[in-house]
Amino acid sequence: MADLNRQFAIQHIEASDDWRLLRELRIDLQAKYADQIPYGPIIDIMTSINDMHDALIRKAVQLAELELKREGQGDPPVPYAFLLFGSGGRREQTFWNDQDNGIIYDDSQAIGEKARSAVETYFEQLARKIRSGLERLGYPPCEGQVICTNRRWRLSFQQYKHMLEKWFESLNVENVRYMLIMSDARAVYGQAELSGKLRERVLQLVADHPEVMRTIVEISLRHKVLLGPFGNLLLERYGEHAGSIDIKYGSYIPMVNGIRALAIHEAVNETNTLQRLRALGFKGSVPEELLERWQAAFEHNLLLRLTCGKDDGIGKLNIRQCSKEEILSLKRTMRSGKLLQAHVAKYGGRN
């Protein structure tokens, strides 16, 4: 029944060409999925939410293409893919998300300078229309400018590949951070193999430059699990969120970053965190008992992300509103996160 409901929602999105109706459909679907949270299972709900986001984003790209065609710009001049980064790339979007995206287009066929300029102009215009359309659907632009209207994230395959290789010539924190963004890239529309080949190149470059793991681990451990040395929750002490804990950056992101670091080290070409975990288990890189513990903890983080961020997207959990059992469960999840971070630290040459 859940699969039928997801298919029904996607069919509604695919059938509509009206921006206002699409936004209303998003609002209605999110309310429906929020109501399902207490009844789970959480993975099914996350799948439904991300299917919805994927369908809406695909529709925005299709409508942008159609607008350009009506303006006399024709069809896309070369095959391309629309990429999602961050939680979109990992299929872990919640109810409130900004635009973390890019465009990659095929340049395998040799073309002249004039044709190359026309291709770049087309995708520049397309990017502006996609950004505008997604804003109309309720997706604000990325504050960090990881977005297709930024030239850095709108390149041909060879240009992306060259940019990656330049980053590895200077393995500073900023370049490695960009590389980690790229490792989460997933095509939501168009030629999916372009993003797959790009991630494969990231993994090959890491294999060729094993010293980069030290910086990957350093970046991956920057967000600490907000659990003190005596098992106490590290709550916000001041302001409107005093007495709350930041679930996103204090529990969820540390696990995302840690599992991604392990996946990169083991050349796992997946973007979803749970799929990365399963692949690590299949490779024998993570003991079964740790795999099960981290999977349970990560699924709990997903539940908390949906629960405490469904109204405003802030993701702060007010501990005063939690039962004793809920607090114990949170601490158990965060202990698993700390165990993961200790495990990841070994790959950076740390004690």
Torsion sign (Cα): 321, 324, 325, 327: positive
Percentage of the chain exceeding pLDDT 70: 96
Q: Can you state the angle between helices 288-308 and 273-283, rounded to 10 degrees?
A: 180
d(CA 201, CA 229) in angstroms, rounded, equals 40
Residue 95 is classified by DSSP as S
At which residue do the structure tokens 């699409």 appear?
A: 22
Give the pLDDT mean for 264-289.
95
d(CA 58, CA 212) in angstroms, rounded, equals 35
Q: How confident is the model at residue 40 (pLDDT cuts 50, 70, 90)?
A: confident
Percentage of the chain exceeding pLDDT 90: 84
Q: Which two tokens stand for residue 201?
A: 């190149």
Residue 311 has pLDDT above 70, yes or no: no
Give the pLDDT mean for 314-328.
91
At 4 the pLDDT is 52
d(CA 188, CA 173) in angstroms, rounded, equals 28
Q: Domain extents for the chain? A: 2-209, 215-348
Neighbours of 229 (CB within 10 A): 6
CATH code for the domain defined by 2-209: 3.30.460.10
At which residue do the structure tokens 């395959």 appear?
A: 157
User: Residues 63-106: pLDDT tens digits?
Assistant: 999 999 999 999 999 999 999 999 999 999 999 899 999 999 99
At 145 the pLDDT is 94
At 308 the pLDDT is 85
Nearest to residue 168, comparing CAs of 205, 198, 200, 203? 205
Tell which wins on pLDDT, 192 or 241: 192
| Mean residue pLDDT across the chain | 93
Helix (H) or strand (E) holding 156: strand 154-156
At 22 the pLDDT is 96
Pairing of strands 101-105, 154-156: parallel
User: Residues 135-181: pLDDT tens digits?
Assistant: 999 999 988 999 999 999 999 999 999 999 999 998 899 999 999 99
- Residue 209 · residue 176 · CB < 8 Å: no
The type of residue at 17 is D
Residue 124, classified by CB atoms within 10 Å of its CB into exposed (0-12), middle (13-18) or buried (19+), is middle
At 112 the pLDDT is 73
Tell me the HSE value of 56 on the side-chain side, using a 13 A CA sphere: 32
At 257 the pLDDT is 98
Q: What is the largest CA-CA distance in the chain?
A: 68
Q: Is the pTM of this model over 0.75?
A: yes
